[in-house]
Amino acid sequence: MKDYLQIICAAPLFSGLEKEEIDAILLCLEAIEKNFEKDAYVFRTGDTTDSLGIVLSGTLLIIQEDFWGNRNIISSAAQGQTFAETFACAPGAVMNVSVVAQTACKILFLNIKKILHTCPSSCSHHNKMIQNLLSSLAIKNLLQNKKLSHLAQRTTRAKILSYLSEMAQQNRSFEFDIPYSRQQLADYLSVERSGLSVELGKMRRDGLLNFHKNHFVLLK
pLDDT, tens digit (0-9, with 9 covering 90-100), for 122-142: 566 777 888 899 999 998 899
> So what's the pLDDT on residue 122?
54
Angle between helices 126-151 and 156-171 (to 10 degrees): 150
> So what's the pLDDT on residue 24?
84
> So what's the pLDDT on residue 78?
96
Ranges in the chain, pLDDT < 50:
none
> So what's the pLDDT on residue 207?
96
> So what's the pLDDT on residue 116?
76
- Burial label for 185, CB within 10 Å (0-12, 13-18, 19+), is buried
> So what's the pLDDT on residue 119?
59
- pLDDT averaged over the chain? 91
> So what's the pLDDT on residue 143?
87
